[in-house]
């Protein structure tokens, strides 16, 4: 059993509830402990994971968020920079699954948040488990 922290950017409550449910279901099915931390938006996720990782209280992390394109370039910043921050932490050895969905509209988001459809929350949780297993394998 390992200690997982789900760091969710709660920008769209109903979509986050679905994604967190998928991630939690996957983690608990694998026998792991799960806590959830909420931050304002996807741009805050990498920093929150860095702080939580430095605390030593958790073994792995799942990033959960929803970024829906609006009228401006901000979509590219939020989507790209949250992914870049998570990738930088992963390359530094932090086991993180990225469940931040970046979509054009609500319909696309619903399909990906629903654990009975594309289950991106569960997918991210399984990726985090896989990275944690690799870290244990390589020491
Ligand atoms: N537009 C979305 C955001 N924007 C907020 C940023 O993530 C950030 O919280 C803000 O710029 C303050 O630093 N966040 C999402 O998660 N999803 C969006 O669609
Ligand atoms: C992804 C976003 O930042 C988006 O929700 C913001 O919308 P807008 O670009 O219309 O300000």
pTM over cut 0.80: yes
| Chain segment 71-121, per-residue pLDDT in tens | 999 999 999 999 999 999 999 999 999 999 999 999 999 999 999 999 999
Quote the CA–CA distance of 85 and 19 in Å, as a whole number: 20
Residue 101 sits at the vertex; the CA angle it makes with 31 and 47, to the nearest 5 degrees, is 75
Give me the CATH number covering residue 27: 3.40.50.960
Q: What is the domain count for the chain? A: 1
What's the domain range around 126? 3-138
Query: What ipTM score was computed for the predicted complex, to two decimals?
Result: 0.96
| Chain segment 12-50, per-residue pLDDT in tens | 999 999 999 999 999 999 999 999 999 999 999 999 999
Q: Which of 12, 19, 42, 85 to mutate to test the pocket of ligand 1 (most atoms within 8 A of CB)?
A: 42
Whether 74 sits among the annotated catalytic residues: the reply is yes
């Amino acid at each position: 059993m390992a200690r997982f922290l789900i760091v969710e950017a709660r920008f769209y409550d109903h979509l986050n509830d679905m994604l967190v449910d998928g991630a939690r279901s996957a983690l608990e099915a694998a026998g792991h402990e799960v806590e959830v931390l909420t931050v304002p938006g996807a741009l805050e996720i990498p920093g929150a994971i860095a702080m939580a990782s430095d605390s030593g209280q958790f073994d792995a992390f799942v990033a959960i968020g929803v970024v829906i394109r609006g009228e401006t370039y901000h979509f590219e910043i939020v989507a790209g920079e949250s992914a870049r921050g998570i990738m930088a932490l992963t390359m530094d050895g932090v086991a993180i699954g990225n469940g931040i969905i970046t979509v054009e509209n609500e319909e696309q988001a619903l399909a990906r948040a629903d654990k009975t459809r594309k289950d991106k929350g569960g997918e991210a949780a399984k990726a985090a488990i896989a990275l944690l297993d690799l870290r244990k394998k390589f020491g």
